[in-house]
Amino acid sequence: MEQKQRPPKTPKDHRDARLKSALKANLARRKAQSRARTGEKPQPEGAEKDKG
């Protein structure tokens, strides 16, 4: 059974819901940026090896 999210009742609940939504969107955006960066510039094979 799927639970529906209830609308926030107090100002604190409104703030918490807004911040939760913003955090989720920010995390998704950062993950997408990270994936894009790793796809654009792959490291050369020798870059990961120790020089010592």
- Condensed to tens digits (0 to 9), the pLDDT of residues 6-52 reads 766 898 999 999 999 999 999 999 999 999 998 865 556 666 555 55
Specify the number of domains making up the chain: 1
* Domain encompassing residue 18: 12-37
Question: What is the pLDDT at residue 44?
Answer: 60
Please check whether residue 33 lies inside any domain of the structure: yes
* The two three-digit tokens of residue 49, written as one number: 């090896």
Please check whether residue 47 lies inside any domain of the structure: no
User: Quick check: pTM over 0.85?
Assistant: no
Q: Who contacts 12 (Cβ-Cβ below 8 Å, separation ≥6)? A: none
d(CA 9, CA 21): 16
d(CA 47, CA 50): 8
Please check whether residue 44 lies inside any domain of the structure: no
pLDDT, tens only, 13-25: 999 999 999 999 9
pLDDT above 90 covers a percentage of the chain that reads 48
Mean of all residue pLDDT scores within the chain:
80
Question: What is the pLDDT at residue 38?
Answer: 87
